[in-house]
Structure 1
Amino acid sequence: MKKIFFWIYHNTLLGKLMIYTFHYSKDNLWPDKWVVRYNYKKRRKKSLNLKNPKTLNEKINWLKLNDRRPIHTQCADKYEVRNYIKEKIGEEYLVPLHFETQNPSDIKPENIPDFPSIIKANHDSSGGIFVYDKKKINYQEIQNLFSLRLKNNYYKSKKEWQYKNIVPRIIIEKLLITKDGKIPLDYKVHCFNGKAHMIQVDIGRGSNEHYRNWYYTDWTRCPFKWTSVSKNKQTNPAKFDVPPPNKLQKMCELSNKLANPFDYSRIDWYDVDDKLYFGEITFHHDSGCRPIEPEEWDYKLGDMVKLNEN
């Protein structure tokens, strides 16, 4: 019976209607708490404790539902966050912005710089399009892509409230490249109650050899892993180390200033030939649905986050 149900579900018009009805109902009709519980149970295969959250992942999910301030919307907006950065630490840490628009038709040669750039949306986490030569890109294809992206409200599927009221737009920034022509490493500083605690470094992103190392702020290795899935493989820590960025101390100091209003946040940076550039602020790393292993560290890290301090 189960095999028959799954065959209907995946191979018939009735199945497609069932899928559409379920997802429409979940995204648009279910209470936010139901969706958060469902997503956690689906990905973690266990129930989510929201009444008395103990683990870091549980507290991230609790924050989704209980800490919803306008500052979250501003900081999740990749365009509006620029004003937050200017106010808190100064605009010298911002990636140069070349162009912004709410109209995908504006993605055309005269609005693309002659130097390498990246085209991305301000309201989601779907990455960007690298442009090394504006004469060699398909403008119609990119316009069509962003027409679809701007219609998507990223809040709906995961109930990460900060995305709900962002005004969607397209931004074109300078593409950060090191002196040797490489895309720089990004450093993701995880902050607990406004203080940098651990740093995530992704190596080989987008390749079949995507590793993720974890370091404390003194650059000693963390005794746990918190993986995502890339190319159908977990982003396990590498057996080798990467050297600390030369601006490590400054990166942590600046992260503390930016994270100050939040119980938990992740502040992303690029270190380009010893110059720091701000990347983004994230409030719910992997939506709080990926295991921290060994599991005891999900509890240990969770114990360090004090809810309602800010």
Structure 2
Amino acid sequence: MERDSFLYKARRQCQVIAHKIMPDEAMCKFYSRILLKKKVDLKNPQTFNEKIQWLKLHDYPTNQLVIDGADKYKVRAYVEEKGLGNILVPLIGHWDKPEDIDWDKLPEKFVLKCNHGCAYNILCNDKSTFDREDAIKKMRKWMKEDFGAFNIETHYSKIKPHITCEEFLGDCIIDYKFFCFNGEPKYIYVSSDLIHDRQAQIGFFYLDGTKMPLIRDDYAPMDIEELPPFFEQMKEAAKVLCQDFPFVRVDFFLANDTYYFAELTFTPSGGMMPFNPDKYDLEWGKLIDISSVKETSYEKSSID
């Protein structure tokens, strides 16, 4: 659904209203029935989606490491602390509001991002034709949005909106997403044409590049001709960055014959990710150990 369409805007507005008047757990169950076509057990979570939703309800909203990790600006410090600052996309500038941007100092090509959600990106590949006023209008609107209210991902609601400007990596880049469970990368999802925000899906793969019999949506997944020569380095970087979390998806951009850190994603599809065949929802769920998180959550609730 196009972001500027009436239906998209209406849906977003309804989600915000529902978030204000309904309990978060009730909304998670409601959205799951619509999107996954099944009930979810959030008292005794077993599947991947159930555990992700449990975490986003009971741990992530107060977990500062997750909140900072989801912050597209603050996560840069986390990557630096892990000794991987060399794979960050070069930062050109950052500001609290669009009015602070000194456009004359920006290069001919650049990427503007808001840090507090997903798909808040503006690409400039020709400064001479770039519409500054439209960019400012979009950023003003985005910075007023509570992204966490849309799919009950309230850790995003704790992020202070901020703008970054990064180096333009190219007209078409590849995205390698490492699904990491309890400190170990297990699977990858590959998509392309990210620069135009369309994400032409390629598919799910094992770490040896073999295609998985798993389909996310109604499309025919493609094969990877060969893994990039720096794949092992990328996998090791994912392993370093995932150590602090029971689950996280570590994303990288592939461009200019190398790779760059993209983001950490804690709630893929808001914990409502379709699996085809459905058995993988349970198989992936078994890989996430949330027992220690549940114990901590119980202790906190007992104290309260």
Whether TM-score is above 0.5 comes out as yes
Partner residue of 1:243 out of 226, 233, 237 = 226
1:205-246 deviation per Cα after TM superposition (whole angstroms, max 9, x unaligned): 55989233111112112121223xxxxxx45412x4342121
Whether the aligned pair in 1 keeps the contact of 2:152 and 2:270 (CA below 8 Å) is: no
Asked if 1:186 corresponds to 2:175, the answer is yes
Asked if 1:172 corresponds to 2:165, the answer is yes
Aligned partner of 2:37 in structure 1 is 45
Q: Secondary structure at the match of 1:278?
A: strand
Q: How does 1:1-310 map to 2 (within 5 A)?
A: 23-68=15-60, 69-114=63-108, 116-177=109-170, 182-205=171-194, 210-227=200-217, 234-238=218-222, 240-309=223-292
Displacement of 1:29 in angstroms is 2.5
Whether the aligned pair in 2 keeps the contact of 1:107 and 1:139 (CA below 8 Å) is: no
Work out the CA distance in 1 between the residues paired with 2:37 and 2:216.
17
Work out the CA distance in 2 between the residues paired with 1:242 and 1:267.
22
Q: Secondary structure at the match of 1:223?
A: coil
Counterpart amino acid of residue 237 in structure 1: P
Work out the CA distance in 1 between the residues paired with 2:174 and 2:82.
24
Counterpart amino acid of residue 219 in structure 1: G
Counterpart amino acid of residue 210 in structure 2: T
Whether the aligned pair in 1 keeps the contact of 2:174 and 2:193 (CA below 8 Å) is: no
Corresponding residue pairs, total: 282
Work out the CA distance in 2 between the residues paired with 1:293 and 1:78.
30
Work out the CA distance in 2 between the residues paired with 1:32 and 1:208.
30
Displacement of 1:21 in angstroms is 9.1
Displacement of 1:63 in angstroms is 1.3
Counterpart amino acid of residue 303 in structure 1: K
1:177-204 deviation per Cα after TM superposition (whole angstroms, max 9, x unaligned): 2xxxx42211000101111000100134
Q: Secondary structure at the match of 1:304?
A: coil
CA distance 1:139–1:208, shift in 2 (3 Å)? closer
Whether the aligned pair in 2 keeps the contact of 1:198 and 1:216 (CA below 8 Å) is: yes
Work out the CA distance in 1 between the residues paired with 2:65 and 2:137.
31
Work out the CA distance in 2 between the residues paired with 1:261 and 1:225.
28
Q: Secondary structure at the match of 1:225?
A: coil
Whether the aligned pair in 1 keeps the contact of 2:191 and 2:199 (CA below 8 Å) is: no
Counterpart amino acid of residue 174 in structure 1: E
CA distance 1:208–1:268, shift in 2 (3 Å)? closer
Please say which of residues 212-221 and 70-79 is displaced more in the overlay.
212-221
Whether the aligned pair in 2 keeps the contact of 1:186 and 1:271 (CA below 8 Å) is: yes
Q: TM-score, normalised by structure 2?
A: 0.85
1:273-300 deviation per Cα after TM superposition (whole angstroms, max 9, x unaligned): 4422100000011112132111112111
What's the % identity of the aligned pairs? 29
CA distance 1:156–1:290, shift in 2 (3 Å)? same
Q: Secondary structure at the match of 1:28?
A: helix
